[in-house]
Amino acid sequence: MYKKTEYNNSLTLVTNHMPGMESLAIGIWIRTGSRNEDEKNSGISHFLEHMLFKGTPSRDCRKLKEEIEGRGGSLNGFTSEEISCFLAKVSYKHADIALEVLSDMVLNASIKQDELDRERRVIIEEIKMYQDLPNHHVHDILAEIMWPANPLGFSIAGSIESVSSISRKAVVKYRDENYTPENMVIVLCGNIDHEKIEASVQKIFSKTVKGKTYPPERFCSKQSKPRMKIINKDTKQSHISIGLHSFGRIHKDRYALTLLHIILGANMSSRLFENIREKKGLAYEIGSDVKRYNETGAFVVHAGTEHKKAPEAIRCILKELKEIKENHVSAGELRRAGEFFKVQLLMALEDTVDHMLWLGEYAASLNKLPDKKEIIKKVEAVTSDDIKRVAQGIFKSPCLNLAMIGELKDKERKEIEKDLVL
């Protein structure tokens, strides 16, 4: 049973009472992320996330962690393109201290100069680490070519150059402008009493602070031909990422797109896994993802393959995309995809953290609460005509983007470039 309170200062509280659960998940969601940055301060959202774990006037870095972990819980945070989130999982008996610790971090982080300089070095090493992981770095390359001159094309961690130049003053200013009650949603899932936590939240967040948030730059694709970026590097495999622009998170065809993703590459029963790994042996790792943003999105296929087999793997991936946009999926395939979605959702919602993340994303990104029954009803209403129509709308030659890291000869590069057709 979801309950929601909107306070006078525009802060939102959402709870889900899950009786009988020992665990409690709590998250403080802030509506800001890498989309709210520019090239100069790229990575500042992620930098700020790191700094919130470094201590407050009342708790140093170690004390913050001990308050949660010393009670058997866990503490974490993440930054995405449109959201920053700080979360804890504890026993429901420790709900008050978890809320107190997370709110202390979010509202009162000290952001000391010496800590910031030390963490700057840590983040630069993190960036280098990801650049050394081709299966990760290839997605950053894909973002660069899919979202050129737009913050969606930046790495969430930023660049070495941008992180090196971000000042304490800039971090504090960014925090003060964005980490305000009107920009926050607090979500708790577990054996929790809404009225009790409502009073605690009111006491902690009673202050009304007006920020100065800047809406993210909207993206409108002007792509008219395939784009390709290949980085030659001494790797054990060639890492491939193929992306095509899709639509935003509230689009009417979002459920058809979800089932299209499940059929193509979400699990071991998918077409990509079955045909490219199992039948042809071209890849060990292969699958698809759907990226959803406010007004835009992407359908992405990723794979790792032997260098000399990369052209064939790409041809086979594109063949699967052509097949699903030209022919209807079978009734059985559609039914299995729908069942996979429903059961995965229902099983995830049994976990307090997964449920909190699901609920928080809706409340923070869409400013509404999800209706599980309504979502399942809409998934069940998707037809094979819908799948084909959505595939035809997304899988187009001019919209193709290919990023790749590996050892490629000129002949293979030209072969790939020639085959970028849907």
The three-state secondary structure class of 15 is: strand
Active-site annotation, residues: 49
CB 54 within 8 A of CB 37: no
Q: What is the DSSP string of 261-316?
A: HHHHHSSTTSHHIIIIIIIT--EEEEEEEEEE-SSEEEEEEEEEE-GGGHHHHHHH
Decide: helix, strand or coil at residue 60: strand
Residue 153: the pLDDT is 97
In terms of domains, do 176 and 242 share one?
no
- The answer as to whether 218 is a domain residue is no
Are the CB atoms for 15 and 188 separated by under 8 Å? yes
**pLDDT tens-place string over residues 216-232:** 888 988 899 999 999 99
Q: Are residues 157 and 300 in the same domain?
A: no
Whether 162 and 284 map to the same domain: the answer is no
CB neighbour class for 306 (10 Å; exposed up to 12, middle 13-18, buried from 19):
middle
84-91 and 23-30: which strand pairing?
antiparallel
DSSP for residue 92: G
Q: Which residues make Cβ contacts (< 8 Å) with residue 70, sequence separation at least 6?
A: none
pLDDT of residue 213: 79
* Same domain flag for 138 and 63: yes
Quote the CA–CA distance of 305 and 281 in Å, as a whole number.
9
| Matching residue, tokens 């000391």 | 112
Token output for 191:
């054996």
Last residue of a domain, one of 154, 173, 204: 204
Residues 249, 132 share a domain: no
The number of beta carbons lying within 10 Å of the beta carbon of residue 415 is 16
Residue written as tokens 């790495």? 155
Q: List, in order, residues 6 or more apart from 391 with CB less than 8 Å away.
A: 260, 321, 324, 325
Per the CB < 8 A criterion, the answer to whether 303 and 311 are in contact is no
Q: Tell me, yes or no, whether 189 and 299 share the same domain.
A: no
Residues 170 and 272 in one domain: no
pLDDT at 122: 98
Q: With 0-12 CB in 10 A as exposed, 13-18 as middle and 19+ as buried, what is 413?
A: middle
209 located within any domain: no
241 lies in which domain range?
227-418
CATH number of the domain that residue 339 is part of:
3.30.830.10
Q: What is the pLDDT of residue 310?
A: 94
240 and 197 within one domain: no
Query: Residue 293: left if φ>0, alpha if ψ -120 to 50, beta else—which one?
Result: beta
Tokens of 382: 């998707």
pLDDT at position 209, please? 78
Identify whether 216 is part of a domain: no
Count the helix, strand and coil residues of the chain and give each as a percent rounded to the nearest 5.
50, 20, 30
Are the C-beta atoms of residues 73 and 84 closer than 8 Å to each other? Answer: no
Summarised one tens digit per residue, pLDDT across range 369-405 is 999 999 999 999 999 999 999 999 999 999 999 999 9
Does residue 219 fall inside a structural domain? Answer: no
101: Cα within 13 Å, side-chain hemisphere: 32
The single-letter DSSP state of residue 368 is: S
Q: Are residue 128 and residue 247 in the same domain, yes or no?
A: no
Whether 51 is covered by a domain: the verdict is: yes
Residue in this structure with the two tokens 């041809």, named with its chain if needed: 315
Asked whether residue 16 is assigned to any structural domain, the reply reads yes
Our count of domains for the chain comes to 2
Q: Is residue 282 part of a domain?
A: yes
191 and 307, same domain (yes or no)? no
Residue 132, phi then psi, degrees to nearest 5 = -85, -5
pLDDT at residue 412 in the model: 85
Q: So what's the pLDDT on residue 239?
A: 97
What pLDDT was estimated at residue 212? 80
How far is C-alpha 358 from the geometric centre of its chain's CA atoms?
12
Mean pLDDT, contiguous 10-residue spans, the chain (422 residues): 94 97 98 96 98 98 97 98 98 97 97 98 98 97 96 97 98 96 97 96 87 84 94 95 97 98 98 97 97 97 95 97 98 98 98 98 96 97 98 96 93 88 92
Quick one: 250 and 141 in the same domain? no
Which of the listed residues 148, 173, 204 is the one where a domain comes to its end? 204
Pick the last residue of a domain from 170, 204, 238: 204
* Domain-embedded: residue 386: yes
pLDDT score at 246: 97
Residues 186 and 259 in one domain: no
Contacts of 187 (CB under 8 A, 6+ apart): 13, 14, 15, 16, 25, 26, 27, 29, 356, 359, 360, 363
Closest CA to 419 of 311, 341, 330, 268: 311
Task: From residue 375, give the alpha-carbon distance in Å to each of 235, 249, 363, 379.
Answer: 43, 13, 15, 6
By C-alpha distance, which of 303, 255, 301 is closest to 282?
Answer: 303
- How many Å apart are CA 273 and CA 300, to the nearest integer? 14
